[in-house]
Amino acid sequence: MSEAATHHDDHHGHHPSGIKRWLTTTNHKDIGTLYLIFALVMFFIGGAMAMIIRLELFQPGLQFVEPQFFNSMTTMHALVMIFGAVMPAWTGFANWMIPMMIGAPDMALPRLNNWSFWILPFAFTLLLSTLFMPGGSPAGGWTMYPPLVLQTGDAFPFLIFAVHFMGASSIAGAINVIVTVFNMRAPGMTLMKLPLFVWTWIITAFLLIASIPVLAGAVTMLLTDKFFGTAFFSAAGGGDPVMFQHIFWFFGHPEVYILILPAFGIISAIVPTFARKPLFGYSSMVYASAAIAFLSFIVWAHHMFTVGMPLAGELFFMYTTVLIAVPTGVKVFNWVATMWQSSMTFEVPMLFSLAFIVLFTIGGFSGLMLGVTPVDFQYHDTYFVVAHFHYVLVTGAVFSLMAATYFWLPKWTGHMYDETLGKWHFWLSTISVNVLFFPQHFLGLAGMPRRIPDYAVQFTDFNTMSSIGGFVFGISQFLFVIVIVKCVKGGAKASDQVWEGAHGLEWTLPSPPPYHSFSVPPEPSTIEGGMR
């Protein structure tokens, strides 16, 4: 390895250009850029599917698409957004920022890094190709519950192998993050000095390694049930379909935290910067993240309270679920305490972070409601659930991704983004996203089920409102692309520190940073505590 590493390093003196640069790159910034562009493309593909869903639900009755295709859209929208947009976006940020934040020249395993990314286009080609297959795309929901999912046509093996590929990519990415942080930190960068984005990413990476293989196992068993005569999940053969739900959610709940923990890290970087104060309660943030990660493995059955479980099981999963509010509350209070008596300014990254804190907390509260077993029987499989997880994933994960993009774009490109356009993007997104998702709470409480293309007429007004919010939110995202393209092409020169209140190693590098971040480790005296 050492010889290979030497050779590898020499190699970068003259890196190739054009398509070959991107195919063969082992550079963390190039790979980070690839991940982020891929995620943005998937965000628009998944978004287009959401537009079809909201178009069909604009009015009651069937207007635009067949019910089967509608079900495909809900299934594919979820798979594309979770595995194609949010997860790769986080890996993109990890690639770009972690080496710069810990004072390393690159990721520890650069070739594995290249491989992790280039699996993804193959995985999503497999998945999206099913749109053109006999029998259509998978339509049984992203949760792939048997026996329904076994009715999928030719698309079935494509779905399974796409999930396997996505999983392999995620595990490889997670291994790379862990070994990088544990082996490549600059001298003086102790674990408790790490920026919180790095901390939350390490914890996310451990969640990935522990949970993705379980998903892979579950879908492998689906595959053998369908094609090789096994009966893991078939009651007729002595198997148990409910067991799939347990196995799936043993993966699925940690997955939720895989999507949101890096967001906590981002907000913990942005709030102190624009509040011009150190983060309140750094160590409690680290422990709270670890506590959330631990709890995420013992709450899974709250996704399936209505399946019929012993009372003791239902109580256990209710209590553990409600317990998650404690470490999450620690985080929210710490962000608020950081802002208390501070000198805040409201640039776009800060605006998205503030929206995150308020709106994610709304999603957290509706999550608490869903976690209470007796009332979950009322809410289960209704639009209330849809409203809940879109508050945590759109105004949570996606808003923090946008905050992070605005925060670091000047560092990456060397140019300031267009603040006016950014503010338009923020306000249009924030207003429309609430018009889109807030009425869905009311629809759910009134009894509208999720995953249906048609509904009873009394649900019309809130659905129409939700669809209008959805269209405005969708169109607003083109502003995001315009801001990014404008910023890449030019704009006012960004300083190295970029933001007046920015602290941390990444801000000591030039904007844009050199191809290799820290060829020489930074002086230990320049390393501040991670609360900055």
Partner 1 sequence: MAQPEPTEQRRQQRRAAVRMALVLAVIAVAIYGWAIYSRVQ
Annotated catalytic residues are 77, 106, 142, 169-170, 253, 255, 257, 268, 302-303, 328, 331, 450
- 79 belongs to the binding site for partner 1 (CB under 8 A): no
Our separate counts of H helices and E strands in the chain read 18, 0
404 CB contacts (<8 Å, ≥6 apart)?
A: 93, 266, 270, 349
Q: Which stretch binds partner 1 (CB under 8 A): 90-98, 128-136, 180-188, 319-327?
A: 180-188
Rg (CA), the chain: 23
- Which one, 72 or 296, has the nearer CB to partner 1? 296
Which neighbouring-strand residues pair with 493? 415
Among 276, 451, 486, 516, binds partner 1 (CB under 8 A): 516
Kindly state the tokens that stand for 223: 């595959």
Among 5, 192, 235, 336, binds partner 1 (CB under 8 A): 5
Helices 325-339 and 241-275 cross at an angle (nearest 10°) of: 10
DSSP state of 488: H
- 94 belongs to the binding site for partner 1 (CB under 8 A): no
- 190 belongs to the binding site for partner 1 (CB under 8 A): no
Binding pattern for the stretch 257-296 against partner 1, x by CB under 8 A and - elsewhere = ----------------------------------------
Helices 399-413 and 419-445 cross at an angle (nearest 10°) of: 160
- 210 belongs to the binding site for partner 1 (CB under 8 A): yes
Task: Answer whether the bond into residue 512 is a cis peptide, omega within 30°.
Answer: yes
Among 37, 112, 446, 452, binds partner 1 (CB under 8 A): 112
Amino acid identity of residue 112, one-letter, is L
- Which one, 175 or 267, has the nearer CB to partner 1? 175
The H or E element containing residue 343 is: none
20 CB contacts (<8 Å, ≥6 apart)?
A: none
115-174 residues near partner 1, rule: CB under 8 A: 171, 174
Q: Which stretch binds partner 1 (CB under 8 A): 95-103, 190-198, 211-219, 425-433?
A: 211-219
Among 96, 232, 282, 408, binds partner 1 (CB under 8 A): 232
365-394 residues near partner 1, rule: CB under 8 A: none
Report yes or no: 248 and 215 within 8 Å, Cβ to Cβ: yes
Task: Answer whether the bond into residue 522 is a cis peptide, omega within 30°.
Answer: no
> How far is the CA of 417 from the CAs of 411, 422, 425, in angstroms?
10, 8, 12
- Which one, 175 or 359, has the nearer CB to partner 1? 175
> How far is the CA of 395 from the CAs of 60, 346, 392, 489, in angstroms?
27, 18, 6, 28
CA pair distance 334, 323, nearest whole angstrom = 18
- 10 belongs to the binding site for partner 1 (CB under 8 A): yes
- Which one, 12 or 423, has the nearer CB to partner 1? 12
Among 149, 175, 401, 494, binds partner 1 (CB under 8 A): 175
- 176 belongs to the binding site for partner 1 (CB under 8 A): yes
- Which one, 10 or 485, has the nearer CB to partner 1? 10
- 183 belongs to the binding site for partner 1 (CB under 8 A): yes
In 3D, which of 423, 410, 411, 425 has the Cα closest to residue 487?
A: 410
Among 519, 523, 524, 526, binds partner 1 (CB under 8 A): 519
- 17 belongs to the binding site for partner 1 (CB under 8 A): no
Site residues (CB under 8 A) for partner 1? 1-2, 5-6, 9-10, 12-13, 105, 108-109, 112, 171, 174-176, 178-180, 182-184, 209-210, 212-214, 216-218, 220-221, 232, 238, 243, 247, 514-516, 519-520
